[in-house]
Amino acid sequence: MRQSEFIQELKINLAEKLSEQEVEDILADYESFFTSGREEGRTDDQISRELGSPAFLAQSLLEEQDGKNNKVMNKRIANPGKRLCAFLIDSIIASIPSFIVSLFIGSAVLPFILMILFYSSPAVSLSLFSASASFHEEESYATVTDAKGQVVKTQIEQSGNKPASALIDASIAGTALYLLYSLLCTWLLKGQTLGKKMMRIKVRASTTDPASKGAIFYREFLGKILINSIPIVPLVSIFTVLFTKEHKALHDMLAGTIVTDC
């Protein structure tokens, strides 16, 4: 069988069963087999006999493709909606320690809101906490004039208020607790945070095996803490979760993990 006849029959058997691009890639591979075979001194008939029947080859290729598709389906990839709900639950849980600490400072609402809003980007959260601490410090002083007419700064005594440094300590503690929650919780609960547990999803290796501690470290610390501290990164992750085949965030791509239904 000549190359043109072989390729044409293979194309007919694959047409409308695979995408045009996939068919073109397969045909290009088999054309290269004929080219390399002729360079070695074999005829088209000899090469086609070695390759086998085009119909049989097409059937094998289709079965292989079905196997790949089934493997992806068997991963039971969690949908983005579940991941979003788990994220919101975790952001609230991770923010509760900061909220409790802030009750003793006199500024409970703002730190709590900041921890929730910027849960995905710790550096931004810490910066805003520091800014709120500075604002709190400025508010705790008043400008007055002494007997000689000189302007002085006097601290305002407010019941229940602590110095602004306590708010800074609370912001650092809140960020540290965020790190412990995200990383250690995923370690201890074998791929789940409390939010993921409630939504019945978990982190696994891309092969669907349980995620190793190393992979979790890459995902939760290097990916979600360090890299996500660059403000644009969480925004990019939103698009990758929505539009990639396995709904992977950038930290999943870094660690070689997926999020699946339990």
Do residues 109 and 70 both lie within one domain? no
pLDDT above 90 for 78: yes
Which of 32, 57, 74 is the C-terminal boundary of a domain? Answer: 74
Do residues 222 and 137 both lie within one domain? yes
Q: Domain count of the chain?
A: 2
Three-class HEC string of the chain: CCHHHHHHHHHHHHCCCCCHHHHHHHHHHHHHHHHHHHHCCCCHHHHHHHHCCHHHHHHHHHHHHHHHHHHHHHCCECCHHHHHHHHHHHHHHHHHHHHHHHHCCCCCHHHHHHHHHCCCCHHHHHHHHHHHHHHHHHHCEEEEECCCCCEEEEECCCCCCCCHHHHHHHHHHHHHHHHHHHHHHHHHCCCCCHHHHHHCEEEEECCCCECCHHHHHHHHHHHHHHHHHCCHHHHHHHHHHHHCCCCCCHHHHHHCEEEEEC
Do residues 58 and 88 both lie within one domain? no
Of 41-50, 178-187, 210-219, which has the strongest mean pLDDT?
210-219
Which of 47, 74, 101 is the C-terminal boundary of a domain? Answer: 74
For 80-101, what is each residue's pLDDT tens digit?
999 999 999 998 998 888 777 7
Do residues 152 and 167 both lie within one domain? yes
Do residues 85 and 198 both lie within one domain? yes
Do residues 52 and 179 both lie within one domain? no
Do residues 13 and 123 both lie within one domain? no
Domain that holds residue 29: 3-74
Per-residue pLDDT, 38: 86
Do residues 50 and 124 both lie within one domain? no
Do residues 67 and 90 both lie within one domain? no
Please state the pTM of the whole predicted model: 0.62
Per-residue pLDDT, 155: 47
Do residues 198 and 139 both lie within one domain? yes
Per-residue pLDDT, 160: 42
Per-residue pLDDT, 149: 54
Per-residue confidence band for 36, with pLDDT thresholds at 50, 70 and 90:
confident
Do residues 37 and 10 both lie within one domain? yes
Which of 74, 105, 124 is the C-terminal boundary of a domain? Answer: 74
